[in-house]
Structure 1
């Protein structure tokens, strides 16, 4: 009898989709102010920008989520994990309803091997029950039923968490060591 694969929930924003660069680029194009990524380190999401509400409005703009860059190494890492784990992409997309279709289209383009049955768009990730959850927000990891893994993003750099990965190479090392 074959051994059951362990399961992983992988967040999208700041974990496989580079929302930090997207915010910087779109804010600069729309408002003419270029915020340096270093200014975002260790401060709450959006707090490094002159006007927080203008940053938040970007999340409602058509194309914002659809045109985000892929986090370096994410495609290769997730495809490798796909062969050895039950992988689910989990995104709390309900706050920005237009993002649902954009995120789905983005996944089809950049992660075509992930089928629709392995994509979970929700409002609250506490319902997700996987062996591992990779996320950039403590609000999701606090309710993780399995082992939470904090993926480093500028807004969480000041947070102390027992399992943190800084890139996809570290994520792979941790997951395979605990497989």
Structure 2
């Protein structure tokens, strides 16, 4: 079985970086609960929206992102049993490429570089399962689409859902 796994907000905590940078720039700390069903740029004052939307285009945004809890252990176990690929639509953010590569080397060294896909359009992916946090990626996937919970997608009900990597342990019968 081939399992494709997204990076941002699935194994790498980009939401936390948005919250950190917003606090750094504007002195206000939003929480993940504040983002329930939306993204940060939608709830900040209108005069800050453009800046927040530009964050992922900044050179260091993707550098050393926090790891999503239990993702390393569970993805490693999946990798031991199945054909696992990391698939990130990274081409939209060219500065992210070296940071994502180094991040994977550091945290997921068991995912061989040949199983790392940096693309722009995930409709080209072929596999049995895609675990992703965005409808626009899941909706174009031909296999089993599984939504990984992130604050912005909590109101989406179209997909099978994983709320955490502990749920993935159960789903894939890893324990």
Scaled to the shorter chain, the TM-score interval is over 0.9
After TM superposition, give the deviation of residue 45 of structure 1 in Å: 5.5
Contact preservation (8 Å) 2:3, 2:85: yes
Say yes or no: does 1:67 pair with 2:103: no
Q: In structure 2, the residue corresponding to 1:46 is in which secondary structure? A: helix
Matches within 5 A, 1:1-179: 6-44=1-39, 46-50=41-45, 51-176=48-173
Q: What TM-score comes out, normalization by structure 1 length?
A: 0.91
* Corresponding residue for residue 3 of structure 1: none
Contact preservation (8 Å) 1:27, 1:58: no
Unpaired runs of at least 5, structure 2? none
In 2, the alpha carbon distance for the partners of 1:62 and 1:108 equals 19
Q: CA RMSD in A?
A: 1.4
User: How many pairs are equivalent?
Assistant: 172
Shift >4 Å, 4+ stretches: none
After TM superposition, give the deviation of residue 38 of structure 1 in Å: 1.2
Unpaired runs of at least 5, structure 1? 1-5
Q: What TM-score comes out, normalization by structure 2 length?
A: 0.93
Instruction: Indicate the structure with greater helix content.
Output: 2
After TM superposition, give the deviation of residue 172 of structure 1 in Å: 2.5
